């Protein structure tokens, strides 16, 4: 019988891994100065969820660099299907064991199942952004998150290692299309010990339990980023969904006010 570690190696092509890792290391060396701490908290083998904050579209490269070179684990991502439609990217992603996700479809369930197999059967290290998108917090603190990572952690029983990073926003801020590559940017990473989720294990996965477990994960990530930044995080996390609803309500109120003004002027 093959061991889980042996199966994990079959998820990726060794020669593609070697080529891709060297290219990424070479490129990042030119415009980043990484500082990695806490790599000892990442298990040397076995399934592990790497839960991290999301600052910039450059994150996948820098987080992968941290995990592969710093922690000596091969990075596996769940990737948006739109990215996987790019021919070269699709081929490389498939050859390196990445997991495609079509959001809002039944295929998203399949992707979650594949991630579960990668963790439990293959002993992979799978990277997740619990926020689901780059932070929109005005000061770039981690936002409120979706519950998928907590659900997967409690279903599989694998550890969740929180990782915070800071600096990618200086390379490519969210919404910008032009990277600022020079001078080289300092990137700081800090991995903490696995999130304590023991109090949630064995309990029904209700919305309340999943939210509390998700908050525990995000609390650890936020605390790690606070250490990196030497700053105090906000007491209440930025909620993107709520912010969008409030913005939509303001817009509707503004439109209604404009209509009333126009009507009054006409009368």
Which residues of the chain fall short of a pLDDT of 50? Answer: 1-9, 262-267
Q: pLDDT value at position 260?
A: 56
Q: pLDDT value at position 41?
A: 98
The dihedral sign for the CA sequence 61, 65, 67, 73? positive
β-bridge partners, 148: none
The dihedral sign for the CA sequence 35, 172, 181, 88? positive
Domain range 4-236, CATH class: alpha beta
Q: pLDDT value at position 107?
A: 59
| Cα gap 189→239, rounded to integer Å | 24
Q: What phi and psi, each to the nearest 5 degrees, are found at residue 144?
A: -60, 150
Ordered DSSP codes for the chain: ---HHHHHHTTS-HHHHHHHHHHHHHHHHHHEEEEEE-GGGS-SSS-EEEEE----TTHHHHHHHIIIIIS---EEEEEEHHHHTSHHHHHHHHHTT-EEE-TTSHHHHHHHHHHHHHHHTS--EEEE-TTSS----TT-------SHHHHHHHHH---EEEEEEE-GGGTS-TT--S----SPEEEEEEE-SPP--GGGTTS---HHHHHHHHHHHHHHHHHHHHHHHTSPPPSS---HHHHHHHHHHHHHHHHHHHHHHHHHHH-
Q: pLDDT value at position 36?
A: 98
| Cα gap 200→203, rounded to integer Å | 6
Domains in the chain: boundaries: 4-236, 237-267
Q: pLDDT value at position 111?
A: 78
């Amino acid at each position: 019988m093959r061991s889980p570690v042996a199966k994990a190696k079959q998820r990726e092509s060794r020669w593609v891994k070697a080529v891709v890792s060297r290219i990424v290391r070479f490129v990042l060396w030119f415009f980043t100065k990484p500082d990695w701490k806490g790599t000892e908290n990442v298990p040397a083998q076995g399934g592990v969820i790497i839960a991290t904050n999301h600052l910039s579209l450059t994150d996948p490269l820098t987080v992968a660099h941290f995990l592969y070179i710093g922690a000596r684990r091969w990075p596996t991502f769940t990737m948006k299907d739109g990215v996987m439609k790019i021919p070269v990217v699709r081929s490389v992603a498939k050859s390196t064991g990445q997991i495609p996700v079509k959001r809002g479809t039944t295929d998203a369930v399949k992707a979650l199942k594949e991630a579960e197999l990668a963790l439990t059967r293959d002993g992979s290290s799978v990277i997740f952004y619990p926020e689901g998108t780059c932070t929109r917090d005005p000061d770039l603190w981690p936002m409120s998150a979706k519950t998928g990572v907590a659900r997967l952690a409690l279903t599989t029983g694998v550890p969740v290692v929180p990782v915070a990073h800071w600096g990618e926003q200086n390379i490519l801020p969210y919404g910008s299309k032009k990277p600022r590559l020079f001078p080289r940017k300092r990137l700081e990473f800090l991995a903490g010990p696995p999130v304590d989720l023991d109090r949630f294990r064995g309990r029904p996965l209700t919305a309340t339990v999943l939210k509390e477990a998700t908050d525990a994960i995000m609390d650890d990530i936020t605390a790690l980023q606070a250490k990196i930044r030497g700053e105090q995080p906000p007491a209440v996390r930025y909620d993107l969904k709520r912010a969008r609803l409030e913005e939509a309500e303001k817009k509707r109120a503004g439109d209604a006010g404009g209509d009333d003004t126009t009507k009054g002027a006409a009368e």
